[in-house]
Amino acid sequence: MKKYIIYAIAIVLTIAGSAQAQFIKADVQVSGLTCSMCQLATEKALKTLDFVSDIKPDLNKNVYVVTFKKDKNVNLDQIKNKVKGAGFSVSKLVATVNFDDVKITNNFQYKYRGNTYQFVNVPAKNLNGLTRITLLDKGFIPDNNFKKNVSEIKLPDIKPAS
């Protein structure tokens, strides 16, 4: 089971009716892209993921808007690995997730489809509807930013599940 560190950055739109959290899309910023062939290789690699329904690349910003299939398990590590396999790295991932009234507080852990998401530096609130979250986990941001974030964040002691 993977544990991710994320930061909820904005509630975009409230939509009721979802039974659980659902990943809708992700803005994946890729570093190292220099030409349209690089962009095409990365896009082709991402399209092989069974939970991806659509990809819209923006070569000017080196960002891919990856839309996910409804009710499919989204694996963020597979996105990272596909980008890495194409010869590049993820420098930022902002996911749009549809939450159904999930109460979070600073250092809140949310378990979803086999993964644990650790919310940090967020005020207490209920997440309801479409919410953009930024992943701060290693491999999803540059190493120097990861080290800086980890040193500034006081995470609670988390014991592995037995």
Least confident of 17-21, 47-51, 80-84, 96-100: 17-21
Q: What is the 3-state secondary structure (H, E, C) of the chain?
A: CCEEEEEEEEEEECCCCCCCCEEEEEEEEEECCCCHHHHHHHHHHHHCCCCEEEEEEECCCCEEEEEECCCCCCCHHHHHHHHHHCCCEEEEEEEEEEEEEEEECCCEEEEECCEEEEECCCCCEEEEEEEEEEECCCCCCCHHHHHHHHHHCCCCCCCCCC
Q: How far apart are CA 149 and CA 120, in angstroms?
A: 10
12 confidence band (pLDDT: 50, 70, 90):
very low
Strand duo 52-58 + 22-31: pairing: unpaired
Full-model pTM: 0.79
Domains and CATH numbers, the chain: 3-143 (3.30.70.100)
Q: How far apart are CA 94 and CA 112, in angstroms?
A: 17
In the structure encoding, which two tokens stand for residue 24, read together?
């809708």
154 confidence band (pLDDT: 50, 70, 90):
low
Mean pLDDT (the chain) is 80
100 confidence band (pLDDT: 50, 70, 90):
confident
Percent of the chain's residues with pLDDT above 70: 79
161 confidence band (pLDDT: 50, 70, 90):
very low
